[in-house]
Amino acid sequence: MFENILIYFVIIPLVMLAALGLCRNIKQIRAVAVVGSLGLIALSTVVLLQYLDMRSAIDAAIAAGTATEQPAMLFTNTWTWFAPLNIHLAVGVDGISIAMLMLSSIIVFAGSFASWTIKQPKEFFLWLILLSTGVFGFFISVDLFTMFMFYEVALIPMYLLIGVWGSGKKNYSAMKLTLMLMGGSAFLMLGLIGIYYHSAPEGGQLTWNLLEIVDNDAIPHGWQQFLFPMTFVGFGVLGAMFPFHTWSPDGHASAPTAVSMLHAGVLMKLGGYGCFRVAIYTMPQAAHELSWIFLILTGISVVYGAFCACVKTDLKYINAYSSVSHCGLVLFAILMLNETAMTGAIMQMLSHGLMTALFFALIGMIYGRTHTREITEMGGMMQIMPYLSVCYVIAGLASLGLPGLSGFVAEMTIFVGSFQAGMADFLAGHGSLRLVFTLVACCSIVITAVYILRVVGKLLFGPVHDDHHRSLTDATWWERVSTVSLIVCVAAIGCFPNFFSNLIKFTFDPAIFSVLGLK
């Protein structure tokens, strides 16, 4: 079992949990969190390098004629867990999962530094690490059942993390967030069980394994029509799809810093990843036929979230609505069923994960000093805490799509892909829905600029609003570590997008597109 490198993505957090249990003081807890998250970063880097090596080795083999094609996933392995129901612990990764694993490990790292001085650290980190166990497990699984299990493991700790360590209306928010996401899970479970029972042709061996389901391609058309919306909505709730997004503003507003970071940065990606990997991979025909419904909903999300963010005055609400807009763009691009747009969607997940985590980290740091998140009660922070303010400006510029930072490349890939899909539809006489919504989504670049610059102008620039704020201090070293690590990643994606784009694009399963006749 331990010869498969992927399993360590679950083992490291579990070891961290055990070590946390033994910790006696805050220093040990911090050490465990930092060493563990560094280990995760190292592990994901190793996996990335090995993955690239293996891919090129297989390419060479194909050229030499000793292999026929690239497998969809590498590092695959299966261990039987509960044979009567065919439940396995099946793992495997492709470029997309690796990108997500890297994202998660960096955000766990930054999040650990952002919760350096949290109260009741032991319990907090226990729940936080348990949450990340679920996240990592989800991204390495290819078995729908274990995937779902890890998904739930990632969701439940959120209730306690917000309920105990949160602020404001924390009980209401924790309950709302958990119940709405559980509601989504109910749909999802229905969808997954449905998929399982149609996973093999008549008389075949039923399976939970994603790759086998895709190969079998046995889900009857009628069932797809029913199961696709179930699965898509189930994951879509976590992806903050309109109208199931309202948990996000309240939940993020009440959550402590690291939890907001992890939740917006990684957990919301579970939604997008699931929509892509499960709903669209397994049921391409239904995705093709029903995508219009969800295109409308996600297209609305994109502009609706941005417009709402324009009038909010609480920093976390602004950022939460901005997440609705950006995550809406992820789902929107996935539904374009176009390779370029889908690549853009995955890049947008990476980009949004990093910059929203950066935003929430900075908001937490500012809130920790001023004890308010109302932009009307603050002003002139650039004079008081220049380091944090500059970081905030960088995060803002990334969010509004400045070239050289991650937001731009992701959005442009999405727009180019979506526009091509939309025009192709339009010219083929399939209606102009995709085209119109692409243009609507493009408008978000203007609205995003409005709300970002509004916040930057009110919060950071101008005269100092409250004289009590003058005595506040700038970032501490652990806060600097947290923000710098995120900014470096944001800039890396923005400056060298082709590496990430190739990593992702390489692994698009041609089967999906051939089913649709799109390739």
Partner 1 sequence: MSPVIPVIILALPLFMFIFLGLCGSKMKHPVAGFLGTLGLGVVMVLSYYTAFTYFFSGAPEFISAAGERLQCVMFDQTWLQFTDTLYISLGFFLDPISAMMLVVITTVSFMVHLYSLGYMRDHHGVYEIGFQRFYAFLSLFTFSMLGLVVATNIFQMYIFWELVGVSSYLLIGFYYRKPSAVSASKKAFIVTRFADLGFLIGILILSFYTGTFDFTLLTSAPVEGMSGVYHVDINTAEGILSTFTSHPAPVFMGASVLTWALVLIFMGGMGKSAMMPLHIWLPDAMEGPTPVSALIHAATMVVAGVYLVARLFPLFLMEESALVIVTVVGALTAFYAAVVACTQIDIKRVLAFSTISQIAFMMVALGVARPEHHESLGYMASMFHLFTHAMFKALLFLGAGALIHAIGSNDYTAMHGLRKHMPITHWTFLIGCLAIAGIIPFSGFFSKDEILSACGSYSTLVYIWMSLVAGLTAFYMFRLYYLIFWWKEHEIPAGHHAPHDQPWTMSLPLIILAAISCVAGFIPFGKLVSWNGEPYDFMAHFDWGVASVSLAVAVAAIALATVMYRKENALPAKFKNALPNLWKWAHLRFYWDELYMFITHKIIFNGVCRALAWFDRHIIDGTMDAFAAITHKASDVIKPMQSGQVQMYTWLYVIGALLLGGITILCLM
Burial 393-423 (b: 16+ CB within 10 A, else e): ebbbbbbbbeeebbbbbbbbbbbbbbbbbbe
Q: Is residue 506 part of the contact set for partner 1 (CB under 8 A)? A: no
Q: Is residue 412 part of the contact set for partner 1 (CB under 8 A)? A: yes
Q: What is the DSSP letter of 461?
A: S
Rg (CA), the chain: 22
Q: Is residue 454 part of the contact set for partner 1 (CB under 8 A)? A: yes
Q: What is the DSSP letter of 314?
A: B
The string of DSSP letters for 11-77 reads: HHHHHHHHHHHH--SHHHHHHHHHHHHHHHHHHHHHHHHHHHHHHHHHHHHHHHTS--S--S-EEEE
- Residue from the set 121, 137, 353, 417 that interacts with partner 1 by CB under 8 A: 417
**Mask 109-128, x = binds partner 1 (CB under 8 A)?**
--------------------
Q: Is residue 431 part of the contact set for partner 1 (CB under 8 A)? A: no
- Residue from the set 60, 457, 468, 510 that interacts with partner 1 by CB under 8 A: 457
Among 181, 422, 195, 427, smallest CA distance to 292 is for: 422
Q: Do 426 and 342 meet the contact criterion of CB atoms below 8 Å apart? A: no
Q: Is residue 477 part of the contact set for partner 1 (CB under 8 A)? A: no
Name the segment binding partner 1 (CB under 8 A); options: 87-95, 139-147, 301-309, 480-488: 301-309
- Residue from the set 109, 138, 151, 304 that interacts with partner 1 by CB under 8 A: 304
- Residue from the set 66, 463, 477, 517 that interacts with partner 1 by CB under 8 A: 463
Q: Is residue 65 part of the contact set for partner 1 (CB under 8 A)? A: no
Name the segment binding partner 1 (CB under 8 A); options: 153-161, 268-276, 277-285, 494-502: 494-502
CB of 220 vs partner 1, minimal distance in Å: 32
The residues, any chain, with a CB within 8 Å of residue 517's CB and separated by 6 or more, are none
Subset of 119-178 contacting partner 1 (CB under 8 A): 176
Among 351, 356, 362, smallest CA distance to 388 is for: 362
CB of 476 vs partner 1, minimal distance in Å: 18
In the numeric block, which tokens belong to residue 127? 């729940």
Q: Do 248 and 316 meet the contact criterion of CB atoms below 8 Å apart? A: no
Q: Is residue 488 part of the contact set for partner 1 (CB under 8 A)? A: no
- Residue from the set 11, 442, 511, 516 that interacts with partner 1 by CB under 8 A: 442
Among 82, 70, 79, 158, smallest CA distance to 511 is for: 70
Among 14, 2, 101, smallest CA distance to 49 is for: 101
Q: Is residue 453 part of the contact set for partner 1 (CB under 8 A)? A: yes
CB of 244 vs partner 1, minimal distance in Å: 8
Q: Is residue 223 part of the contact set for partner 1 (CB under 8 A)? A: no
| Interface contacts to partner 1, rule CB under 8 A | 176, 179-180, 242-243, 245-247, 304, 307-308, 310-312, 339-340, 380, 382-383, 397, 400-404, 408-409, 412-413, 415-417, 419-420, 423, 426-427, 439, 442-443, 445-446, 449-450, 453-454, 457, 460-463, 497-498, 501-502, 505
